[in-house]
Structure 1
Amino acid sequence: MTDGPTDLAPREAWHRYLDGRQTELTEETASTYHYRLKLFGEWCEDQGIETVDELNGWLFDQYESYRAGQDIASVTLHNEMETLKNFVEYLERIEAVNDDLAERVNVPHVPRDERSRETKLPTERALALIRHYRSSETLRGCRRHALLEVAWHTGARLGGLRALDLRDYDRDEQTIEFVHRPESETVLKNKGEGERVVALNERVCETISTYIQSDRYDEHDEHGRQPLFASRQGRPNPNTIRVWMYLATFPCIQGECPHGYDPDACEFRNHSKASQCPSSRAPHHIRTGSITWHCDRGVPREVTAERVNASQDVIDEYYDKSEKRDRMEKRRRPHLNKLNIE
């Protein structure tokens, strides 16, 4: 038991910090912060730092140099130091450290184009895969096909895909609904503000309906709900969804392997190594590609923002990967007639 906030050990302090933010952070975000602060806490222990009262600008500079020397990406270092700065601001608030200590945490500048996530499933690959699934007698309507179609057409996050129930799909209305259900352990990133109904076109509905009729496991989760994307055990965990998406985006599904591997003998076909295929993509990469596709097809920014549950500013900065010339031709040139002087 500590005598006061200044006596808190770094490890105890960041646990208190994250415990206090449980109601506002999703499980995935809290896990990310936990990992970043765990790295800092372990480094402090290695340096013999016993209490937060010992923290100072020189130690923060040493830690930043230590992490930078581990050859991590510039955006990773930026994010880690930003989380550390927020943690130190918490320490200021509880009067565990001096009021101006957070200002001594340097958050390295990263250019906007480097902060954005460049890895995505390119439109041409996504559409080729979807067309192949649709035309294949053996693959049409399989779970991987349905998962890819829903992810691509809604731009949903992994958590949103996992949270979907069978009842959230309405064939007659051609919609799918994302609902925040924390009481039964499926939360949306933005909680209640992430709830939305997304319209689907006929071909996507055909895919989902075929999947439900022919390939979906008729299982319930531990809360009695019926997951749309079900495993034999009920609702899959997040990593299982990731693996399914990796498997769904293998390039050899609709063509030759671009990396020279024999698909019949390729080790990436193993579930545990699916993520190591250079061309397989995770749910977030599909989301990034999907949002870019929406923008390139001329879907209004406000409509895209509603469909994918992201602000227009965030879409512009992190997800819209259109080439500059494409942006001009597809989104700006049609407005030139508004600038006529005659």
Structure 2
Amino acid sequence: MEQKNIPPRDGVQRYLNDRKPELSQKSLYNYRVSVNQFADWCEENQIRYLRELDGDLIAQYKDYRLERVATITARNDIRVIKNFIEFCESIHAVFSGLSELVRIPKTTVEDEICDDFLTKEEADAILPFLAKHEYATNRHLIVLILWKAGMRLSGLRALDVEDIDPDGPTLKIRHRPDKGTPLKNNRRGERNIYVTHEVMDVIEDYLTHTRPDVTDEYGRKPLIATRHGRPSHTTIQKAVYAATRPCTYNGGKCPFDRDPNDCEATKYAHITKCPGSVSPHALRRGYVTAARNAGQPKDVTGERVNMTGRVLDKHYDKGNFQEKANRRRDSLRDI
């Protein structure tokens, strides 16, 4: 059958509409970014209709992405584009078999592993600083819960006031996709997380003295709240980036030989440019590593943070050779 004249942008929208029912909000967002970048590239290269695409053009786009992003990111992008091309075949926007010509970039084990994590020593410096200078503020609570519970950003953002059980003391993580807070693993991500009484004391002080009396657009009372309701993912990310800049908590000393008076990363709009600051996910990796070094069993840690042992070993446990040897020592027998 002859291919139809479907512009890239129209094909992208039809594809996203087709995938929307089966994808989480986070996955749909990632897919949208990938295919919109591809549509932008098509327009920049005067590709008016999707039927003009061929194997060579797809290969050029792959090279284009590899020149601009990490290999693992390019691989993920091209996987989405391959799936997009398969959809385009089904609506006769491209010639049949084009998806088979899409070659996914190969990655090494090192490409797939991110080493960005917050160490226990860094956490032990950051949390006392926040407790002294920003006690029971949004920033303090965000970093405290992410570190102590090892949860994902989406889990923290999903917490409501009613999910806090002081008697436990526990935090109840629940999947509420129809009310704006889906969890990555849907209902499989639901669980109760024990925290210490010291952590719960900070939460209760936050609720009593700091938290604004607001609801979100669904009438829910978010635990972490701003004057406008539930904070966005970006707001939480910026709070972590700001709190983990070394000069923030180490007395103004920069380990990267920058002058804090001139460093652009000291300005809130550019906090992500500090080479020492980390994202919320780095706290999750740091918690897993610290928990395993402290002797917490792998299955207990995995269930607490909602991940499999395989994923924990490959992507989250950043213990060095000696730390891992120390963990095994107590279980060894002389035979």
**Aligned pairs (5 A) from 1:1-342:** 6-69=4-67, 71-94=68-91, 96-97=93-94, 100-134=97-131, 136=132, 138-256=133-251, 257-258=253-254, 259=256, 268-330=265-327, 332-337=328-333, 340-341=334-335
Aligned AA (2:206): Y
- Deviation, structure 1 residue 103: 2.7
Amino acid at match of 1:251: P
**1:140–1:36 Cα change, 3 Å:** same
Tell me the amino acid that sits aligned with residue 291 of structure 1: V
AA at the equivalent of 1:139: E
How high is the TM-score relative to the length of structure 1?
A: 0.87
Identify unmatched segments of 5+ residues in structure 2.
none
Deviation at 1:172, TM superposition (A): 0.5
Following superposition, the deviation at residue 277 of structure 1 comes to 2.6
Q: Given the superposition, is the C-alpha separation of residues 32 and 210 from structure 1 closer, same or farther in structure 2, using an over 3 Å criterion?
A: same
Q: State which drifts further: 273-282 or 254-263.
A: 254-263
Name the SS of the counterpart of 1:335 in structure 2: coil
In structure 2, C-alpha distance between the alignment counterparts of 1:142 and 1:326, rounded to whole Å: 34
Deviation string 1:278-309 (CA, Å, 9 cap, x unpaired) is 32222122222222222322322222222212
TM-superposition CA deviations, 1:175-213 (whole Å, max 9, x none) = 001111222212212222221111112222222222222
TM-score by length of 2: 0.89
Describe the shift of the 1:153–1:111 C-alpha distance in structure 2 as closer, same or farther (beyond 3 A): same
SS at match of 2:172: strand
> Cα–Cα, structure 1 residues 299 and 92, in superposed 2: closer, same or farther, change >3 Å?
farther
Shift of 1:225: 1.5
Q: Which amino acid aligns with 1:52?
A: L
Is the 1:112–1:317 contact (alpha carbons within 8 Å) kept by the matching residues of 2?
Answer: no
Secondary structure at the counterpart of residue 221 of structure 1: coil
| Structure 1, gaps ≥5 residues long | none
1:311/1:89 CA distance change after superposition, 3 Å = farther
Would you say the 8 A contact 2:125–2:250 is kept in 1? no
Amino acid at match of 1:40: F
The one-letter code sitting in structure 2 at the alignment partner of 1:155 is: G
Q: How many residues are paired up?
A: 333
| Superposed displacement of residue 218, structure 1 | 2.3
Measure, in 1, the Cα distance between the counterparts of 2:286 and 2:82: 32
- 2-side partners of 1:264 and 1:234: how far apart? 34
Task: Give the Cα–Cα distance (whole angstroms) in 2 for the partners of residues 306 and 36 of structure 1.
Answer: 31
Q: 1:126 to 1:176 in 2, by over 3 A?
A: same
RMSD: 2.5
Name the CA distance, whole Å, in 2 between partners of 1:91 and 1:50: 15
Q: CA deviation at 1:83?
A: 1.7
The offset of 1:5, in angstroms, is 6.7
Distance verdict in 2 for CA 1:180–1:125, change over 3 Å: same
Which aligned runs of 4 or more in structure 1 are off by greater than 6 angstroms? none
Q: Separation in 2 of the partners of 1:169 and 1:4?
A: 59
Query: Residues 11 and 28 (structure 1 numbering): CA distance in 2 closer, same or farther, change over 3 Å?
Result: same
1:242-290 Cα offsets, whole Å, 9 max, x none, are: 1222222232343232245666786544432222233222212222222
Distance apart, 1:37 and its partner CA: 1.3
